[in-house]
Amino acid sequence: MTLPGHPHLARDAQGELRLEGHSLADLARRHGTPLYVYSRAAMLDALAGYQRALEGLPHLICYAMKANSNLAVLQTFARAGCGFDIVSGGELERVLAAGAEPSKIVFSGVGKTAAEMRRALEVGVHCFNVESLGELERLAEVAAAMGRRAPVSLRVNPDVDAGTHPYISTGLKDNKFGIPHDEALAAYRRAAALPSLQVIGIDCHIGSQITQLEPYLDALGRLLDLVEAVEAEGIALAHVDVGGGLGITYTDEAPPAPETLVRALAELMRARGHGHRELIVEPGRSLVGNAGVLLAEVQYLKPGETKNFCIVDAAMNDLVRPAMYEAWMAIEPCRPSAGTAAATWDVVGPVCESGDWLGRDRRLAVAPGDIVAVLSAGAYGMAMAGNYNSRPRAAEIMLDGDAVHVVREREDARALFALERLLD
């Protein structure tokens, strides 16, 4: 029986949890915990939803690699023809190392340094998604000094409410992102006047874990208003980039399928006479979120007067979403625990912070030594992992049919302080 929202994750007749047919408990035994496990098929299926809906239209799918930037994940998408949305020079080097075509990379982010701009111009990225007038001027200077023209899109803040968590909403007036809608026309005039810039598009990104179509259609409508105003002044815009942000099912959310979203966007473009324009999308979470799980071993059960704690060997440094966004992520035992009664547990890690929790008030039948899986951990999981409490980062596995690839080895504790020096 497959789990809702997780087409490649299933419980077999014995109650064993399997991803692409592989027993997760066995993988944990063989490779240790905490362990990230990804399904390549699940990633490619998610991508195929976008690809199907965009077929026959001028388009570019740019995977927002900050969601999961493991080289094998990037390689999987690059081979499938994907472009990438990057937000730093580090991401640029990483994605080039994974085989990305520079001409399919868009460079987002509010704080691009001159060095990052130079490198991106050198390799020839498709576009800089510029977020402020200051950045526009700096990019023009950097490009001029190199004798280049930098391709630019302006990230416009459409001031729509994506109806999502305040920390992951980015399209409202009081966010740090983008150029305010009513200042965008003037910014386009300025960009068009700078000879070392070539204006090629417009973009927005209104937030993350969005579960409704309306905010997207509102934002696209606002962008198209601007496109018309900009083109009326003789500044041509080849593409419209609507960003990423489509949500996934963590519990009972029912976000539109990628196909539904893209068809609705394309329809609005057509209806308003913009069907010829290239449509760029920048999905992150919706391509990888439900393709991955985080496995942890139960260490101790600590029943208490008001709370019961189930202490596992994965922590906030491995998966920060619950601690940072109060995100709810499903936690499932990987196989039935014989003779164990269910109880209500707060599933917590060993880090010395009360905020170090993975799930609260979860009904689970577990015993020490059992393996549990945190679901929907393929996005913003390992990518946000750190080393707090000198905890080496988890290993990562990519399943591909029968094959099991270790795509990142478990970090060694000595590597954590290898760059540090004792005093003489």
Residues found near ligand PLP in the complex (CB under 6 A): 64, 66-67, 85, 87, 108, 205, 208, 243-246, 282-286
Q: C-beta of 208: minimal distance to ligand PLP in Å?
A: 3
Q: C-beta of 379: minimal distance to ligand PLP in Å?
A: 6
**Chain residue at closest Cβ approach to ligand PLP:** 284
Q: C-beta of 243: minimal distance to ligand PLP in Å?
A: 5
Residue 27 or 46: which CB sits closer to ligand PLP?
46
Q: Which of 317, 318, 312, 323 is nearest to 364 (CA)?
A: 312
Q: C-beta of 8: minimal distance to ligand PLP in Å?
A: 20
Cβ neighbors of 397 (< 8 A, separation 6 or more) are 27, 31, 35, 36, 37, 38, 404, 405, 406, 407
Q: Which of 259, 194, 197, 204 is nearest to 227 (CA)?
A: 204
Residue 217 or 365: which CB sits closer to ligand PLP?
217
Residue 215 or 245: which CB sits closer to ligand PLP?
245
Residue 23 or 169: which CB sits closer to ligand PLP?
169
Q: Which residue has the tokens 């039948």?
A: 365
CA dihedral 301, 303, 308, 312 (to 10 degrees): -10
Q: C-beta of 225: minimal distance to ligand PLP in Å?
A: 21
Alpha-carbon distance of 315 to 374, in angstroms, equals 11
The answer to whether 321 is a known ligand-binding residue is yes
Tokens of 37: 């496990």
Q: Tell me how far CA of residue 307 lies from CA of 276, 310, 343, 348, in angstroms.
A: 59, 10, 11, 12
Cβ neighbours of 124 (radius 10 Å): 12
Residue 5 or 245: which CB sits closer to ligand PLP?
245
CA dihedral 108, 113, 117, 122 (to 10 degrees): -130
Q: Give me the catalytic one of 62, 82, 334, 352.
A: 352
**C-beta of residue 296 within 8 angstroms of C-beta of residue 356:** no
Q: Is 413 helix (H, G, I), strand (E, B) or coil?
A: helix
HSE, CB side, 13 Å, CA atoms: give it for residue 159.
Answer: 8
Cβ neighbors of 207 (< 8 A, separation 6 or more) are 162, 164, 168, 169, 170, 171, 215, 245
**C-beta of residue 313 within 8 angstroms of C-beta of residue 34:** yes
Residue 176 or 270: which CB sits closer to ligand PLP?
176
The answer to whether 38 is a known ligand-binding residue is no
Q: Identify whether 352 is a catalytic site residue.
A: yes
Tokens of 307: 């709370």
Please list the helix, strand and coil fractions of the chain in percent, rounded to the nearest 5, in that order.
35, 25, 40
Q: C-beta of 170: minimal distance to ligand PLP in Å?
A: 7
**C-beta of residue 325 within 8 angstroms of C-beta of residue 362:** no
Written as one letter, the residue type at 219 is A
Tokens of 168: 């992951």
Residue 204 or 298: which CB sits closer to ligand PLP?
204
The answer to whether 245 is a known ligand-binding residue is yes
Residue 67 or 366: which CB sits closer to ligand PLP?
67
The answer to whether 102 is a known ligand-binding residue is no
**C-beta of residue 179 within 8 angstroms of C-beta of residue 188:** no
The answer to whether 362 is a known ligand-binding residue is no
Question: What residues act catalytically?
Answer: 352
Residue ranges of the binding site for pyridoxal 5'-phosphate: 245, 282-285, 380
Residue ranges of the binding site: 245, 282-285, 321, 325, 353, 380
